[in-house]
Structure formats: structure tokens, C-alpha cells
Structure 1
Amino acid sequence: MSIWSRISDALSALANGEPLSAVFDRLRTPPERSVAFTIAVIALGAKMAKADGQVTRDEVSAFREVFQISPEDEVQAARVFNLARQDVAGFEDYARKIKAIFDRTEGPFCDLMEGLFHIAMADGTYHPAEDAFLERVAVIFGLPESDFRSLRARFVPDAVPDPYTVLGVSPDMPIDEIRRAWKKLVRENHPDALTARGLPTEAIKMAERRMNDINEAWDEISKGKAA
């Protein structure tokens, strides 16, 4: 059964008039958490789209890139998006419900934030309202500030990404410690690790950019230290 069929089943289980946010109470364990992950990115993305006041074609295309949505699945994706936009619950309520699903497992929160950054930057601009939205979601998720800065450095082109920020290290650290941090990130972002923490296979392609950024940061640091 595809992820979109399972999403359809989850939405069908909602009682008449029940908000989309209620669906997260039923998706707390694997493999249902992969359904929750997909709904979470679309739903929070819909709330974020309201934050900057508009939904662009580029943002819709970004959803397709993150989840590789086929034409036959677009109706279900649009349904999730519209239900989230219509739900009177605020984005903070959504974020808290998602936090409760994944509890102390840090990995999925970084994955979720990455999907949201991808969508936020789809139209080529990073709106202050989007920054405030994402920063608040990161706080609710309990994401360390250094991780949030790393994500923002990778996605927002207001400056050349600092390789040390991307790896979550500092320039004064010994090269061996930086290498260990790099290898840890590589292990954590292996497709098997992503699947194990609830990332649906449809979204794993999103991690390819992350691995490129991680490896490029290490290459830049290692070459600079060797010079």
C-alpha cells in the first residue's frame, strides 16, 4: 500500500467535522509514523504558506519534489493541504502534536524542518514571517539552536554557507573531532537510518541535497586545514 493510500485511510477515519490535527493522535507508532511525517510536512507547509500570505506555484512544486507526488496522488496531497489551511488550530498546536508522536527522537525533527525550509525557499525568497514561523516550530520541537542555524545556513542564500555551521562544529575544534562529526552526520543520513526514524521512502530523495551539503562542507574544511 502506497503512502498516499495510507494517508487516504487516515483522513477517512476522521469523524465528520473533525480537524486534520486530530489525525496525529492516531499515528503514534511505526509504520504509521511515516504517514504522520508526510501529513506533518504538508500541513505545516500549508500553515507556513498562510504566514507569508500567499501560496505560489513554486511552493506547490516543492511539495512534489519533497514527496515525488505522482499525478494520481495530487488529489490526496491537495486535500491534506486544504484541510490544514482550513483548520482553526494554529501551527503551534500541530507542532506540539508532532512533537508528541516522535518524542525524544531528534532525527525526524531535523527531517521535518528540512522539508519546511525547502518549501519556504521554493519561491526564491525567505520571508521574515517564514523565519519566525520556522524558528518557533524548531523551539517547540526542541531542536538545538545550532541545528536550526545549520539548516538556515544551508537553505537561505543571504550569505555563503559557513561549512562549520553546516557540520555543527566550530573552527577551533581539532580536525579529528570535526572528522568524527562529519562521519556521524553521514551515518545518520544513510537511507536505512532515515527509514528507521520514520521518513517515508517518497521523501528520502530530499536527503540527497543534505548529503551533498555535508560532504562539501567537510571537503572545504579539510582542504583548508591541510593548506
Structure 2
Amino acid sequence: MGMAGKILGGAFGYMLFGFFGALIGIYIGHKFDSGLAQNPFDPERQQRVRKVFFSTTFSVMGHLAKADGKVSEEEISMAKAVMERMELSADMRKEAIAEFNKGKQKGFDLDAVLTEFKQECQRNKNLVRMFIEVQLQAAYADGTLHLAEDEILLHICNRLGIPNFAYEQLKRMMGAGQSRSQHQKTGATLPEAYGILGVSDSVSDADVKRAYRRLISQHHPDKLVSKGLPEEMMQIAKEKTQQITEAYETIRTARKN
């Protein structure tokens, strides 16, 4: 899995922030892989975490794609695009496809996969949160979060110890972010900005600021580094804080007028 950092960095960057994010993610992931051999902090465990994260990401993605009874063309295109943007080797592409197809099978043991994932990744709740954000982005690939997908994602959150209210907030944020990604050049609309912060337009200015500060704290790169989050995810945290800040400024500007 010498390519694991590049693969995960590209996957997260692309799925959350498009092609430009994928390029940055791939570069940072490459740097992480290059320096891993010199990292005295349990490199074997980090390798296990990345391997489990890679396999779980694609298998659960496949499981979600089949949740509503069939895999849509948009979901297939999304999965293919992720693999292409990551420039996977032939072997790694086969592995990703195999995991995706495994997740589509009727006998796919989701709970067993989640148990292994939790065992390796539960020490860092932000890593788990990032996994859920990636799966939500995949679920929104066809423009709609279907009921069956929603139920599976809620089950995943329960298994991984993410409370229901946190999942609902992530849904609002990712749904708004998905809409924003369709017109990134013009920025988020006001409704999307509220969605990104996970608040309604009826809350007070103080509540908006609290939501903003909480989200910035959760995605703050320095805090994530101190908790041991892989370096390949740092650019994602920076991009997320930028998106959150832009949403906050959009709301502030609207409320001043």
C-alpha cells in the first residue's frame, strides 16, 4: 500500500472538493507516503488504518449505491471518476473495483466491515467523521439522498458512535456543499450557507457564530494534526474551513443588509 496516501488524499480531495482538490490531495498524500518510512510513530498501525480506510470507503460506497435497488449511472460515473482522478495503478484500480462490487453484493456484511473499521480508526473521531462525509458525498452523487441510503448511513453512524443529531448536521452540510459544488465560481447561496453551517435562517447571530466556531474547531488543521490525523487529510481540513468561513461571511453580509 505504498500508494495509499496518494490514493486517499486524491479520493478525499476529489469527492469533497472536485478535481482541484484531488490534485492537492494526491500531492499531499504522496508527501505523506514518502515521509512515512521515517516516522517513528507506529508506522505499521498507520498503514493498517489507511488500508482499512481504503477498502471500507469503496465497499461501503458500493453498498450505498445499491441501497435503493439499483446502481445509477451517476453513481457508476462518480466511482469511475474518483478512480481515474486518483490515477490508480492497474492493481489498485482492480482492488477498488473489487471492493465497490463486494459492497453491492446481497450478502455483504456491513457490520463486520464497520467493526474492523472502528477497531482501527476509532481513536480519532475526526477520521470517522471524514469517512461519513465521504459516504454522504457519494450518496448525493445522483442528486438525491434516498431513504434506503439514509437508513444505511444512520446505521453506520450508530455503529461508529456518531449521534443522530451529528449525522443530521452532516447531512445538511454535505447537501448544501453538494449544491455549492455545482456553481463554485459564484459561491454559496444564502440557503446553502445556512446548510453548510448546519443552522436555520431563524437562529440568532450569536447562534450562527457559535456554529461557525464549532465547525472551524472541528476542522482546524493544527488541532487535527495534534490528534494524529494523517497529513494527507490536512488539505481537506483547510478547504473545509475555507468553505465554512465563506458560508459564515455570506450570512453575515446578508444580515447586515
Q: Same fold (TM over 0.5)?
A: yes
State yes or no: 1:56 paired with 2:72. Answer: yes
Q: Which runs of 5+ in 1 are unaligned?
A: 8-27
Q: How do residues 63-212 of structure 1 correspond to structure 2 at under 5 angstroms? A: 63-64=79-80, 68-70=85-87, 72=89, 73-86=92-105, 88-156=107-175, 160-161=191-192, 163=194, 166-167=196-197, 171-172=203-204, 174=206, 177-178=210-211, 180-188=213-221, 193=225, 196-198=228-230, 201=232, 210-212=240-242
CA distance in 2, matches of 1:6, 1:116: 16
CA-CA distance at 1:95 after TM superposition: 2.1
> Using the alignment, how far apart are the partners of 2:121 and 2:204 within structure 1?
34
Cα shift at 1:137? 0.9
* 1:130-164 per-position Cα deviation (integer Å, ceiling 9, x unaligned): 1111111112111133321222113336994462x
Superposed counterparts of 1:10-25, under 5 Å:
none
Alignment pair present for 1:217 and 2:251: no
The equivalent residue for 1:43 is: 59
Counterpart AA for 1:133: I
Deviates more, 1:121-130 or 1:81-90: 81-90
Q: Cα 1:177–1:155, aligned 2, differ >3 Å: closer, same or farther?
A: closer
Spell out, residue by residue over 1:23-61, the C-alpha distance to the aligned partner (whole angstroms, 9 max, x if none).
xxxxx9213211211111111111112211122332233
Q: Is the 8 A contact 2:78 2:138 kept in 1?
A: yes
Q: Residues 40-88 of structure 1, C-alpha deviation per residue, up to 9 Å, x if partnerless?
A: 1111111112211122332233335556332634222112222333473
Normalized per residue, which structure has more helix?
2
Aligned with 1:51: secondary structure?
coil
C-alpha contact 1:182 1:218 (8 A) present in aligned 2 = no
The structure-2 alpha-carbon separation of the partners of 1:128 and 1:215, relative to structure 1 and needing over 3 Å to count, comes to: same
The alignment partner of 1:156 has SS state of: helix
C-alpha separation in 1, matches of 2:123 and 2:237:
21
CA distance in 2, matches of 1:41, 1:185: 21
Aligned to 1:31: 47
Unaligned runs of at least 5 residues, structure 2: 9-43, 180-190
Q: Distance in 1 between matches of 2:106 and 2:130?
A: 24
**Which amino acid in structure 2 is aligned with residue 166 of structure 1?**
I
Distance 1:59-1:205 versus aligned 2 partners, 3 A rule: farther
CA RMSD of aligned residues (A): 3.9
TM score, norm. by length of structure 1: 0.69
Q: How many residues align?
A: 204
Instruction: Report if the CA contact (8 A) 2:56-2:117 is conserved.
Output: yes
Work out whether residues 59 and 100 of structure 2, in 8 Å CA contact, stay in contact via their aligned partners in 1: yes
Counterparts of 1:215 and 1:120 in 2: how far apart (Å)? 25
Aligned residues with identical type, % of pairs: 20
